[in-house]
Structure 1
Amino acid sequence: MSLPEENQTLMFREAAETADVVAAQFARNRGTVEALAASLRANPPPFVVTCARGSSDHAATYAKYLFETQLGIVTASASPSVGSVYEAPLALKGALYLVISQSGKSPDLLRNAEAAKAAGARVVALVNVEDSPLAQLAETVIPLGAGPERSVAATKSYLASLAAILQLGALWKQDPALLHALDALPSALRQAWAADWRPLTEGLVGARNLFVLGRGLGLAAAQEAALKFKETCGLHAEAYSSAEVKHGPMALVDAGFPVLAFAQPDETGAGTRAVAEEFRARGAQVWLAAPDGDLPLAEAPHPVCTPLLTIQSFYRAINALALRRGHNPDLPPHLNKVTETV
């Protein structure tokens, strides 16, 4: 099987479009999101519920930490099976119910959105396919605007999901620093795409497994990276909070064990760095993604932007790693672009 050149994969070309996608999304959705944010300020929901699967569920992790740290609104992830398989009614009256989906057609997400709407929740859809069943069901639609994504592995649509969540959070809070971050984010994403993460690519060519660590807002990036290692490279990776990894999983980390750590430039950063150094002292093969780390990070206009910049740099590196390991990142075995679960 002949493999494409590194810059000729669909994954590379689609991920490279992210900065332009985000800039266009922010401009197009501004009015819709401002109206939604004003309504949420006038009638604050008692809590927020997210509903998603796959990469979109990692975006939901980002939403949890963003809304809880910036807005003080408890945000919980709904298990789609509770509504679609168990058909258990939930008390959701007045809640903001945020459904995140690229296709907007997975049956389990649709059933949960319908149940949430019937229970009195306010259903908001973040969706890439604007004429999808989910978009038609939702009270408010925030289009991701990523355009066609032909690579099975989601890239620009995932980052567009995080960007849409960030725009909602910033306009909801009306914090000047967050609003400035929206304006500066596309330029920062372009810088992140140019970051040199070749040490990671070269170091994992022969790896069989690894841990990916993050914490707080950075946990969503760790989850997404671990999925992409499995999906595009056939490499078993597990994501952990840099705090949670100490509760058992760290027993596996010894000499030569690969660890990729994402250090957030916020209150969680010191803890992640400390765990990374502890593992390095054991002889583990550690890469720390930080402005002063083994893997450079573009300067973030606000700490809440760092997970987006981290993953943008990671996508370029994982595309190259997949090819080095003999995999086509556009066509992972046994996977389809649209996954429909019940």
Structure 2
Amino acid sequence: MHAHADTAAAPTGPSWMFDEAAQAAEVVALQLSRNAQAVAELGRALRRDPPPFVVTCARGSSDHAATYGKYLFETQLGRATASASPSVGSVYAASQHLRGALYLVISQSGRSPDLLRNAEGAKAAGARVVALVNAEDSPLAALADTVIALHAGPERSVAATKSYIASLAALLQLAACWKDDPRLQQALAALPDALRTAWNQDWTALVDGLAGTANLFVLGRGLGLGVAQEAALKFKETCGLHAEAYSSAEVKHGPMALVGPGFPVLVLAQPDETERGTLAMAHEFRARGAATWTASRHGNLPVAEAPHPAAAPLLTVQSFYRAVEALSRTRGFAPDAPPHLAKVTETV
């Protein structure tokens, strides 16, 4: 038996979450066009005066985007990237040595007090503060040195979808301009059409398979780890499923002891150097009798072809969003209104 939401009735038709996730291709096309000049200028500035390291500051889905950014900047640009713990600045009031660093704050609302306090502290410490934010009139946008607007438009569903994909696209555009890489630039141009293809992938097998389950693992690795984290969060908030995200390498260090016959595992394979190991892990779990769904060109969940491996996570999560919205309704939940959650979380 699975739990049902007790705060709202499940909708009988498509939700705001469905409609907003379906807008991702148009959002990304608009964003890439409108931000082209500003991000190109930032890329030139970063090449002239390279930061010694990169720091990201975010929470929730935005922090999962930051995980993607870490692997993107480290693999494409060789820049060590660390995730700031917001409480270090907002609760402990500890100053950091950030002179010359690129400090990326990712937020939909740009209003969370802890992110604002850390951004202020980073700026005072001599970092270049860049805000990736959906609300261009927010306090975060006002204090940043550079604003990369997400251009996702209003998002009525509590569960972030198009704004998450927009955050990934903004990070990818920044990396492409900073690296001045024609292959990444070409991938950006192809991204909206690839997202449309991703939206039309059929993941019904996952929806049917998880309709009555209680918990699962979500595996990813490298550039795909942030999407695994995001998928686990969406299972929790929209489906009442206890889902945990792991690196397909890290899961070997203890958590895999839980995986036996019938245990559900969603594997999000990244089409790059990590793919072989991730698929081997999926094969091992299947051999144990686990219920395994693998999103891969070699798996049982179809994926859209990525114009560049770094673009693949955006396509994977777009296909996933359509599936998890359907799963939410199948399980009797209202995907737009998760219990006990609000759209803007103002953490101090």
Q: TM-score range by the shorter chain?
A: over 0.9
Q: CA deviation at 1:293?
A: 1.0
1:328-339 residue pairs with structure 2 within 5 A? Answer: 328-339=334-345
Q: CA deviation at 1:199?
A: 0.1
SS of equivalent to 2:227: helix
| Structure 2 partner of 1:279 | 285
Aligned pair 1:4/2:11, yes or no? yes
Structure 1: distance between partners of 2:181 and 2:42:
16
| Structure 2 partner of 1:301 | 307
TM superposition score normalised by structure 2: 0.97
The CA deviation string for residues 249-302 of structure 1, in whole angstroms up to 9 with x for no partner, is: 000000000000011110000110000000000000000000231100000000
Q: CA deviation at 1:174?
A: 1.1
SS of equivalent to 1:206: coil
| Structure 2 partner of 1:191 | 197
| 1:55 aligned partner, one-letter code | S
Aligned pair 1:179/2:189, yes or no? no
Moved over 4 A (4+): none
Structure 1: distance between partners of 2:346 and 2:316:
29
Structure 2: distance between partners of 1:60 and 1:3:
32
Structure 2: distance between partners of 1:165 and 1:291:
25
What is the count of residue pairs matched by the alignment?
341
Match of 2:321 among 307, 315, 327: 315
Structure 2: distance between partners of 1:292 and 1:121:
43
Match of 1:84 among 74, 87, 90: 90
The CA deviation string for residues 4-50 of structure 1, in whole angstroms up to 9 with x for no partner, is: 234x2000000000000000000000000000000000000000000
| 2:189 aligned partner, one-letter code | D
Aligned pair 1:167/2:173, yes or no? yes
Match of 2:296 among 283, 290, 298: 290
| Structure 1 partner of 2:141 | 135
Structure 2: distance between partners of 1:271 and 1:212:
15
Aligned pair 1:216/2:231, yes or no? no
Structure 1: distance between partners of 2:106 and 2:158:
17
| 2:77 aligned partner, one-letter code | L
Aligned pair 1:240/2:246, yes or no? yes
Structure 2: distance between partners of 1:198 and 1:108:
39
| 2:332 aligned partner, one-letter code | G
C-alpha contact 2:9 2:332 (8 A) present in aligned 1: no
Q: CA deviation at 1:2?
A: 4.5
Q: CA deviation at 1:3?
A: 2.8
Match of 1:123 among 116, 125, 129: 129
Q: CA deviation at 1:334?
A: 0.1
SS of equivalent to 1:97: strand
Structure 1: distance between partners of 2:269 and 2:321:
17
Unaligned runs of 5+ in 1: none
Structure 2: distance between partners of 1:70 and 1:283:
38
| 2:141 aligned partner, one-letter code | A
| Structure 2 partner of 1:266 | 272
1:35-184 residue pairs with structure 2 within 5 A? Answer: 35-184=41-190
C-alpha contact 2:10 2:335 (8 A) present in aligned 1: no
SS of equivalent to 2:322: helix
Structure 1: distance between partners of 2:86 and 2:189:
34
Structure 1: distance between partners of 2:198 and 2:338:
25
Q: CA deviation at 1:100?
A: 0.1
% identical aligned pairs:
73
Structure 2: distance between partners of 1:172 and 1:122:
14
SS of equivalent to 2:11: coil
RMSD: 0.7
Structure 2: distance between partners of 1:141 and 1:2:
39
Structure 1: distance between partners of 2:10 and 2:84:
39
Unaligned runs of 5+ in 2: 1-7
Structure 2: distance between partners of 1:87 and 1:256:
47
Structure 2: distance between partners of 1:158 and 1:264:
18
